Amino acid sequence: MTDDVHEHELNAYVDGTLPEARRLEVEAWLAAHPADAARVQAWSDQNQSLHATFDAVLNEPLPLNLVRATLRPALPVPFRAVAALLAMMATGLVGYAIGLNAEQAPAAPVYLARDAAIAHAVFSPESRHPVEVDAAHADHLVAWLSKRVGTQLQAPDFSAQGFDLLGGRLLSGETGPVAQFMYQDRIERRVTLYVRRAVSGNKVTAFRHAAENGVDVFYWIDGDFGYALSGQIGRKAIQQLADAAYSQMIPASGKR
């Protein structure tokens, strides 16, 4: 190596960060110095190998539990009830029951709607890996998620509302495995259906709405399981999808 081209410049050349004028000078240097050219080629090959091996991992979305940890620090058990109330007040969670008085509706898990909204916000923007299993393998997806979550699931048909199934993935929640189904319309708007074990022994179905940081969530409890449909397509549109999901999945829940 001479004073003309330094090693850090060769590294910058491989990384593509040299200014154009200096890049041309380095290329001229490499043409006249085969040993340096061989080193640069070896570094470039190594970069390509690393990208081929690890790009898929680098592009994976953040784990939902990690995202939740940044939004809601763990609190001692005695303070959870107070924290839940404060969270609802601070984030503007608004609930209502259809066909039920507030006194009659079972208390939904405080974080069901919020967790569903977070999962939607984390995974719906993904372009390369929005789902773990795509819609081409829908039967396998439903069977797999049903087994893991512990109830017979189905992926609702939203074709009448203009949304097609993209696929789904398995998530982790406070109460165990969580299923997420994702749908997309022709202008690439996405909605997600989130299903997890919720309230043990619950016998009443509740249907509620929550608005969480711009994400509308319609959610309900049926038996031991909670369901939440999330999206940013307008409250009326997401309610229509939630109504369709509710009417299709409640009959299936009776088969548990």
The set of long-range contacts for 180-185, using a CB threshold of 8 Å and a minimum separation of 24, is 180/119, 180/123, 181/155, 181/156, 182/123, 182/124, 182/130, 182/131, 183/158, 183/241, 185/233
pLDDT of residue 67 exceeding 70, the answer is no
The predicted pLDDT at position 36 comes to: 87
Q: pLDDT tens across 26-40, in order? A: 888 888 888 888 888
Q: How far apart are CA 89 and CA 75, in angstroms?
A: 17
Model confidence band, residue 153 (pLDDT cutoffs 50, 70, 90): very high
Q: pLDDT tens across 36-62, in order? A: 888 888 888 887 777 677 666 555 555
The predicted pLDDT at position 191 comes to: 96
The predicted pLDDT at position 255 comes to: 43
Q: pLDDT tens across 101-152, in order? A: 333 444 445 578 888 998 999 899 988 888 999 999 999 999 999 999 998 9
pLDDT of residue 190 exceeding 60, the answer is yes
Model confidence band, residue 186 (pLDDT cutoffs 50, 70, 90): very high
Q: How far apart are CA 235 and CA 230, in angstroms?
A: 10
Are 247 and 207 in contact, with CB atoms under 8 Å apart? Answer: no
Domains and CATH numbers, the chain: 7-58 (no CATH), 64-253 (3.30.200.100)
Q: Which of 22-26, 29-33, 92-96 has the lowest mean pLDDT?
A: 92-96
The predicted pLDDT at position 41 comes to: 87
The predicted pLDDT at position 205 comes to: 61
Ramachandran angles phi, psi of 128, nearest 5°? -90, -35
